[in-house]
Structure 1
Amino acid sequence: MKQAILLHNPGAGDEDHVKSDLVKEIEHGGFGCVYFSVKKDDSWKEQLDQADFAVVAGGDGTIRRVVKELVQRNALAKKIPIAILPMGTANNLSKTLCIDSQLEQRVHIENWKKSKKQRFDLGVIKNADTTDFFMESAGYGLFPNLMQQMDSVDKSKAKTAKDELKLALQVLQELTLHAEANHYALKADGKTYEGKCLLLEVMNIQSIGPNLVLSPEASTADGLFNVVYVDESQRQAFAAYLQKLIDGDHDAVFAYQSFEAKELLIDCESVHMHLDDELILPLKNPLSLEVRENVLEFLTTQEQDANSNR
């Protein structure tokens, strides 16, 4: 019997109920299971080597927290795959891995026995002072601004995850109309890109933020970043596109400027930056970014489809 370590990020008041249900479902699915709340303490880190795979029950931020521990472990430590029970608001990582957040948890658990290990690359970002990693994206401009705004916006009328995602799109659209554009210079594969942008994202997955698909062709295992940017000249067109999404037009498209790269140097004057869902002060320029291949493995039942989120 394979042993799972269940790492759960409980919401207010739901831990005992969800813990009992999840453990029961996982054991009913034919797996051993030990439960840890990642909010309580870090004791789960000492138990990873005892498990055959880790189950992360939470959103993108919880997955990053677990991955951070796996990345920092000694090279001789046991490498274990990750299964996701998506419980976040956006679940962008799950979407890229073709893990449907609308399915019942029981169905996800049943699928683990027929799942495959999906290789997953990480982005490494560094300068003379700092080295860090990202799973989803790193970028400047609108998205770190959005993260900052969403910390203070009134969410009392957003009763569901769908409502909260729509609210985030509305805030992003307002930011697009008024945000200052930032000068950037990129060097990748012998080419130089330079201009003033509203948004600059180095993508490792397909969508970020309020499920906004920036790079539908992105793969987590191709050894490449998808670099996506919106120039200042595209401000009105991008705002109009966001409004269509807010209005429910799921067929709306936008002509993002993009290219692929395995390594790149970035110099950007933005006062805001993010790594995945963490808002940080910009690192000292220039920044070096590179793909580290096959660092992680996720359990999935579907092959990534580059057109699935178009």
Structure 2
Amino acid sequence: MKQAILLHNPGAGDEDHVKSDLIQAIEQEGFGCVYFSIKKDDSWKTQLDQADFIIVAGGDGTVRTVVKQLVKRNALDKKIPIAILPMGTANNLSKTLGIDNEEARETHIKNWKTSRPKRFDLGVIKNADTTDFFMESAGYGLFPNLIQAMDAEDKSGLETAKDELKFALTVLQRLVLTAEAADFWLQADGQVYQGKCLLLEVMNIRSIGPNLILSNEAETDDGVFNVVYVAEEQREAFAAYVGRLIDGENDPGFAYNTFHAAALTIDCDSKYMHLDDELILPLKNPLVLEVRENVLAFLVNDAG
């Protein structure tokens, strides 16, 4: 019997009910299961080596919380695969991995019997003072600005994840029209890119924020980033594009400026910066970003 450690980020008032349902569904498929609420208990951090795989029941931020602990481990420690039960709003990470958040939890759990571990590269970001990592993306301008703006918005009237995603696109469109462009300079593979941008993102997955696809061809195991930026002169066109998404039109795509790089150096004067879903103060420039290959493994279905 494979032993799982279940790390759950419960919503308000639903912990006991969801906990029992999850444990029952997992054990019915023949897995051993030890449950932890990551909001209440840190003791799971010392239990990881007892598990054959980790189950993360939550959204992208919950996965990052778990991965923060995994990257602290010694390189000689065993690599423990992660299975995701997507329970967040956007679930950008699981969507890139081909994990359908519309499927029933029981289907996800059943699929783990035949799932394979998929290699996952991490991004490392560093300067003279700091070293950190990101799983999904790191960037400047609109999306860190959006994180800050959404924290200040009243979302009490939003009933579903779909409502919240549409509302976030509405806020994003407003920011596109009003945001101050930032001067940027970056170098990758001997090429220099510079100008004024509204958005500059170093992508390790395909989408960001309210499921906005910035790099549909991004792969988590290809050893390169997909670097994407929207120049100041694209402001009106980008706002119109976001408007079409709000209206529910089929995504016609947008002419992002984009290229691949395994390592790059960035200097940007944006007031806002993020690592995954965390808003941070801009790190002291210049920054070096590098791919670290095969750091993690996620369980994915071969059909996904």
| Range class of TM-score, shorter chain | over 0.9
Aligned ranges 1:42-53 → 2 under 5 Å: 42-53=42-53
- Structure 1 partner of 2:234: 234
* Alignment correspondent of 1:3: 3
Q: Deviation digits for residues 28-56 of structure 1, max 9, x if unmatched?
A: 01100000000002100111000000000
C-alpha displacement of 1:250: 2.1
**5+ residue gaps in structure 1?**
305-310
Query: Equivalent residue for 1:64?
Result: 64
CA offsets 1:59-95 (integer angstroms, 9 cap, x no match): 0000000001000112222210000000000000000
- Counterpart in 2 of 1:307? none
CA distance in 1, matches of 2:136, 2:285: 21
Q: Residues 236-275 of structure 1 correspond to what in structure 2 (within 5 A)?
A: 236-275=236-275
Q: Secondary structure at the match of 1:114?
A: coil
**Equivalence for 1:182:** 182
1:127-166 Cα deviation digits (max 9, x unpaired): 0000000000000000000000000111122110000000
Change (3 A) 1:303 1:124: farther
2-structure distance, mates of 1:156, 1:19: 25
Matches within 5 A, 1:216-227: 216-227=216-227
Q: Please state whether the residue corresponding to 1:151 is helix, strand or coil.
A: helix
Question: C-alpha distance in 1, partners of 2:212/2:157?
Answer: 21
SS of the aligned residue for 1:113 comes to coil
1:109 maps to 109
Task: Give distance in 1, aligned partners of 2:66 and 2:250.
Answer: 33
- Equivalent pairs counted in the alignment come to 304
Could you say which residue in structure 1 is the equivalent of 2:100? Answer: 100
Query: What is the deviation of 1:252?
Result: 2.6
RMSD: 0.8
Shift of 1:303: 6.4
Match of 1:196 in 2: 196
Query: More displaced, 94-103 or 71-80?
Result: 71-80
Matched, 1:126 2:126: yes
Identity %: 74
Amino acid at match of 1:8: H
Q: Render the CA deviation track for 1:188-214: whole Å, top value 9, x for unaligned.
A: 000000000000000000000000000
Paired letter, 1:37: S
Question: SS where residue 68 of structure 2 aligns?
Answer: helix
SS at 2:152's partner residue? coil
Q: Which runs of 5+ in 2 are unaligned?
A: none
Which runs of at least 4 in structure 1 moved beyond 3 Å after TM superposition?
A: none
The whole-number CA distance in structure 2 between the counterparts of 1:57 and 1:9 is: 6
Q: 1:214 to 1:303 in 2, by over 3 A?
A: farther
Q: What is the match of residue 283 of structure 2?
A: 283
Counterpart in the other structure of 2:166: 166
> SS of 1:176's equivalent?
helix
TM-score for the superposition, normalised by structure 2: 0.99
- Partners of 2:175 and 2:251 lie apart in 1 by 23
| Residue type at the aligned position of 1:230 | V
Deviations 1:93-115 (A, max 9, x none): 00000000000100000000110
Q: Is 1:148 aligned to 2:148, yes or no?
A: yes
**Aligned CA distance change for structure 1 residues 303 and 269 (closer, same or farther; 3 Å):** farther
Is contact 1:224–1:261 with CA below 8 Å preserved after alignment?
yes
Maintained 8 Å contact 1:177/1:235: yes
Offset, 1:284: 0.3
Shift of the 280–303 alpha-carbon distance from structure 1 to 2, 3 Å rule, reads farther
Q: Does the CA-based 8 Å contact 1:265-1:288 persist in structure 2?
A: yes
CA distance in 1, matches of 2:176, 2:303: 34
The one-letter amino acid of 1:223's match is G
The residue type equivalent to 1:186 in the other structure is L
